[in-house]
Amino acid sequence: MSDVISSNFVRRDLLAERPAPVKTTGFIGLMRTRLFNSPTNILLTILGALLLWFTIVPSVKFLMVDAVWSGKDRAACLTENAGFAVGACWPYIQAKLPQLIYGFYPEAERWRVNLTLLLAVVLLLPLLIPRLPAKSLNAGLFFVAFPVVAFFLLHGGGIKGFGLSWTAGLLQLFDESIVGAGQALLTSSRTSAIGPLLWGLGSLIVLLGTVIHWLIFPLTWLRDYIQGTGQPVWADFAVTAAIVCVIAFVLGGGVRTGGRALASSIATFIGIAVVIRLLDLDHGGLPIVTTNLWGGLLVTLVVSVTGIVTSLPIGIALALGRRSTIPLIRVFSIAFIEFWRGVPLITVLFFATYMLPLFLPGNFTVDGLVRALIGIALFTGAYQAENVRGGLAAIPRGQSEAAAALGLSWWKTTSLIVLPQALRHVIPNLVNSFISLFKDTSLVSIVALFDLLGSLRASFADPKWSTPSTAFTGFAFAGIIYFLFCFGMSRYSLFVERRLNAHRRN
């Protein structure tokens, strides 16, 4: 303890300052480390700058500096009249803007399109912001209620009956088709080698048809009675609402717990009644605007929104079918998915336009837009199925085993435990397929529908605006619209992905 070292060294004077380290942050640092740190890098920087110079500068010059901003017809956009090399011809876009957005939708009725777009935005925005509550109600409104309202707003027209009449009509159609098939079997049994077998099968089917006919007789009788009254829509509505409310009440657990189901179904029917009243659906509704008058951005949005809304249920069903252990269903799902994924969309659209009408009964014509929509729904459904399957595969087995241990049925396990988690996982992928769907909607212009690109192409043919720069201006405008939509969606998908993976970040 005593031998304390006495010669402790304590420095008396300050050390000389060292030079500051070379700056590696900020603009100067960036230039030093990432742009000009070696001869090769300097060369590459010059190359990059040249590339930018030869693309950005001419584009800006074309779109802004050399552009013509006002005028009445092509004369304003010609070099000899303007006095300089004319760039973009913006008056052409101003003149064609209604056509590019609404197509040939009648001018007096365009408020309906605007209202639909407004509704879509109001419903979609809260759905996209994760912090806001009531997601299931919001999703239900957007994915189920909105398409129906949008159909009656955009297309117009009214309804002649309601749930009961439709159900009765569908069942009757089904019954007639079954009886027809049975009759066909009976007639072919007379000439066939396996006649008795066909005869037996045919008689069985006809018998089945007759049984169904008598089973649905109360429904058809009620339908005929309702159609005879003075207010068929409202009478039918009241009957349907009463039946559905009672069913919901009973299924919801009767007196003990059924109150909630009853309240929500009553609220739904009140909402439907308000829509019927507002749009005057019981008296023919709004004037009908046939779809061949639709065009421009309207068609692009209608096709893409319908595509996403219809393809998601198809995709979920196919994905569940592909993972099912029941052989026939699995094989069918695999074949269906691989078929639609293996062919280009344009052949699918050709299929929907030329082949589908042949498959339907002769007296049954399908609108051109609806045909394209069916093709797109089937095509996108197959792609969504693969997305959803990825999500289903990501759910650990333990989840469904735990559900089985709790005694939940397959349907409850799937709808309450597995699917919600799986769908949350694949939101970014779903948004990505929506982006490609949005881009693919431009293909409908090939089957004579005038979407944004189709309207643009049609507007090039107008001699009133044909100038050397018309095509470039039109493509610049449409390109900006497409880019804004797709880029916005891809940023949103990145945002959701980061949010979902928040727990994995270090």
Partner 1 sequence: MSTEARKPPPQIALKIRRIMGGKAGWNGVAVQFAFAAILGWIGYEIVSNARANLENQHIAAGFGFLRNNAGFDVNQTLISYTGSDTFLRVFVVGLLNTLVVSVVGIFFATVIGFIVALCRLSPNWLLSRVGEIYVEVIRNLPLLFQILFWYLAVLAALPNPRQSISLFGIAFISNRGLVVPSPVGQGGLEPFLAVLALGIVASLALRFYARRALFQRGQVIRIWPSVLALLFGLPLATMLVFGLPFTFELPQLRGFNFAGGSRIIPEFVALTVALSTYTAAFIAEIVRAGILSVHKGQMEAGSSLGLSRGATLRLIVVPQAMRVIVPPLTNQYLNLTKNSSLAVAIGYPDLVSVFAGTSLSQTGQAIEIIAMTMGVYLLISLLTSAIMSVYGWRVSRSLGA
Q: Is the Cβ of residue 239 or residue 373 nearer to partner 1 in the bound state?
A: 373
Number of H helices, E strands in the chain: 24, 0
Q: CB of 440: closest distance to partner 1 in angstroms?
A: 7
Distances (CA, A) of 56 to 44, 51, 53, 63: 18, 8, 6, 10
| Phi, psi for 103 (deg, rounded to 5) | 70, -135
Q: Is the Cβ of residue 244 or residue 346 nearer to partner 1 in the bound state?
A: 346
Q: CB of 162: closest distance to partner 1 in angstroms?
A: 26
Q: CB of 281: closest distance to partner 1 in angstroms?
A: 30
Q: CB of 239: closest distance to partner 1 in angstroms?
A: 29
Q: Is the Cβ of residue 48 or residue 140 nearer to partner 1 in the bound state?
A: 48
DSSP string, 134-169: -HHHHHHIIIIIHHHHHHHHHT-B--S--HHHHHHH
Determine if residue 152 is left, alpha or beta; phi over 0 gives left, psi from -120 to 50 gives alpha, anything else beta.
alpha
DSSP three-state, residue 26:
helix
Q: CB of 226: closest distance to partner 1 in angstroms?
A: 29
Q: Where are the alpha helices (DSSP H) in 9-60?
A: 26-30, 39-60
Q: Is the Cβ of residue 316 or residue 435 nearer to partner 1 in the bound state?
A: 435
Q: CB of 80: closest distance to partner 1 in angstroms?
A: 18
Q: CB of 500: closest distance to partner 1 in angstroms?
A: 19
Q: Is the Cβ of residue 64 or residue 250 nearer to partner 1 in the bound state?
A: 64
Q: Is the Cβ of residue 306 or residue 441 nearer to partner 1 in the bound state?
A: 441
Q: CB of 181: closest distance to partner 1 in angstroms?
A: 5
DSSP three-state, residue 261:
helix
Q: Is the Cβ of residue 47 or residue 394 nearer to partner 1 in the bound state?
A: 47
Closest CA to 105 of 147, 148, 155, 152: 155
Q: CB of 316: closest distance to partner 1 in angstroms?
A: 17
DSSP string, 290-349: -GGGB-HHHHHHHHHHHHHHHHHHHHHHHHHHHH-S-HHHHHHHHHHHHHHHHS-HHHHH
Q: Is the Cβ of residue 8 or residue 191 nearer to partner 1 in the bound state?
A: 191
Dihedral angle over CA of 395, 401, 404, 405, nearest 10 = -140
Chain-centroid distance, C-alpha 418: 23
What is the C-alpha to C-alpha distance for residues 114 and 120, in angstroms, rounded to an integer?
10
Residues contributing to the site for partner 1 (CB under 8 A): 30, 34-35, 41, 44-45, 47-49, 51-52, 177-178, 180-181, 184, 324-330, 332, 338-339, 341-344, 346-347, 350-351, 354-355, 357-362, 410, 435, 439-443, 445-446, 453, 457, 460, 468, 471-472, 475, 478-479, 482-483, 486-487, 490
Q: Are 388 and 422 in contact (CB under 8 A)?
A: yes
Q: Is the Cβ of residue 341 or residue 499 nearer to partner 1 in the bound state?
A: 341
Helix (H) or strand (E) holding 198: helix 195-215
